[in-house]
């Protein structure tokens, strides 16, 4: 295996194989299953995470829901659809992928093997994501005007997709073309996707980086040590308002004050054409134990009230550009 060789999602022998991201970077453990319920559970527990990766995993899961069902496929399919749709309400890629599989299911004729047809469509969605990631990375090269120190938040790399990533792939391509000097990775409280997952990927790629607390970012900007910020997205409204991991809005505000370019990188499938603006984006709230506990260790009184949104919404006016697989869109946004 090469230094950066690891698999995020794969479909082998009629089973979904995925790396358990909750155990990274200390343990690289793979899970394989043909149970849609197990995949739904993995999405909820963040064993599988990142909007594009969630979509691909859900597509395979929905196809697998009828693998062993010979009669009443419609009933089992609808049950699986509803279960998977309930896992992560903010990530639009989830619903896009589920509806693609649903469309294929509804178009089936009696002569077709329904399971094979749905798996074929899931594999097409998988390949489409790989190709979109590559185009996002290449399009993202246009944002670099010099060698840069780049800051990113959460994880928008290979672990968040089934390709090479969105925002982190822009950084990877920039590094390969001598545009990126150093990467600052927000630890991303409370589940530390930056210090665990982004750091894991940057280390695998041999890209110089430093992990920082989320609250250090503005101080680095004040010191002139950040040239640009690029992050991913879980849902983008028609006007460009963007939902991403909580803490993203803080960065956009700090970038605006310090006159630092702030970019979003995401496939066009992350744009929700039915959502007019950020006020219509449903924000997922996480279990309070993610704040009252650190792993299995209790760190504060578990009876204390907790507010723990998984995402926040950055207004379109604070976003310098949205890097997609089609092009880089600039404000005012028209998708």
How many Å apart are CA 131 and CA 108, to the nearest integer? 27
How many Å apart are CA 230 and CA 33, to the nearest integer? 34
The active-site residue out of 234, 241, 312, 325 is: 234
Whether the Cβ atoms of residue 268 and residue 51 lie closer than 8 Å to each other: no
How many Å apart are CA 120 and CA 63, to the nearest integer? 9
Whether the Cβ atoms of residue 207 and residue 175 lie closer than 8 Å to each other: yes
Closest C-alpha to 308, from 279, 288, 278: 288
Say which residue the tokens 């700090």 belong to: 254
**What CA dihedral angle connects 153, 158, 163 and 168, to 10 degrees?**
40
Whether the Cβ atoms of residue 308 and residue 287 lie closer than 8 Å to each other: yes
Strand locations in 129-285 (E):
148-152, 180-186, 209-212, 228-231, 235-237, 242-245, 262-265, 271-272
Active site residue 234: yes
The sign of the torsion formed by the CA atoms of 271, 229, 325, 143 equals positive
Long-range interactions of 258-261: CB distance < 8 A, separation 24+: 258/218, 258/221, 258/222, 258/226, 260/221, 260/226, 260/227, 260/228, 260/229, 261/143, 261/227, 261/228, 261/229, 261/320, 261/321
Closest C-alpha to 96, from 258, 228, 266, 297: 266
How many Å apart are CA 4 and CA 7, to the nearest integer? 10
**Quick one: the chain helix, strand, coil %, rounded to 5?**
45, 20, 40
Tell me how crowded residue 37 is: count the other CB atoms within 10 A of its CB.
15
Residues identified as active-site: 234
């Amino acid at each position: 295996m090469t230094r950066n060789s690891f698999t995020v999602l794969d479909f082998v022998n009629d089973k979904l194989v995925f790396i358990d991201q909750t155990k990274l970077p200390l343990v690289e453990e793979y899970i394989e299953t043909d149970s849609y319920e197990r995949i739904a559970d993995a999405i909820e527990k963040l064993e599988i995470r990142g909007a594009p990766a969630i979509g691909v995993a859900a597509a395979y899961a929905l196809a697998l829901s009828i693998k062993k069902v010979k009669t009443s496929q419609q009933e089992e399919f609808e049950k699986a659809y509803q279960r998977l749709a309930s896992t992560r309400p903010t990530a639009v890629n989830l619903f896009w992928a589920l509806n693609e599989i649903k469309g294929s299911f509804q178009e089936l004729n009696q002569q077709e093997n329904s399971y094979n047809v749905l798996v074929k469509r899931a594999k097409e969605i998988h390949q489409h994501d790989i190709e979109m990631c590559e185009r996002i990375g290449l399009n993202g090269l246009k944002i670099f005007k010099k060698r840069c120190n780049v800051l990113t938040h959460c994880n928008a790399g290979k672990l968040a997709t089934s390709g090479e990533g969105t925002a982190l792939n822009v950084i990877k391509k920039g590094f390969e073309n001598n545009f990126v000097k150093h990467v600052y990775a927000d630890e991303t409280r409370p589940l530390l996707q930056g210090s665990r997952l982004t750091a894991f990927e940057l280390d695998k790629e041999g890209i110089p980086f430093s992990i920082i607390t989320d609250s250090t970012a503005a101080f680095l900007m004040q010191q002139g040590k950040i040239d640009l910020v690029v992050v991913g997205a879980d849902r983008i409204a028609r006007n460009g308002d963007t939902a991403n991991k909580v803490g993203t809005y803080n960065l956009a505000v700090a970038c605006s004050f310090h006159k630092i370019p702030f970019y979003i990188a995401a496939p066009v499938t992350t744009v929700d054409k039915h959502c007019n603006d950020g006020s219509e984006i449903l924000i997922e709230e996480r279990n309070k134990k993610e704040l009252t506990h650190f792993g299995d260790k209790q760190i504060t009184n578990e009876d204390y009230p907790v507010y723990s949104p998984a995402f926040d919404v950055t207004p379109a006016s604070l976003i310098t550009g949205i890097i997609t697989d089609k092009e880089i869109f600039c404000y005012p946004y028209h998708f």
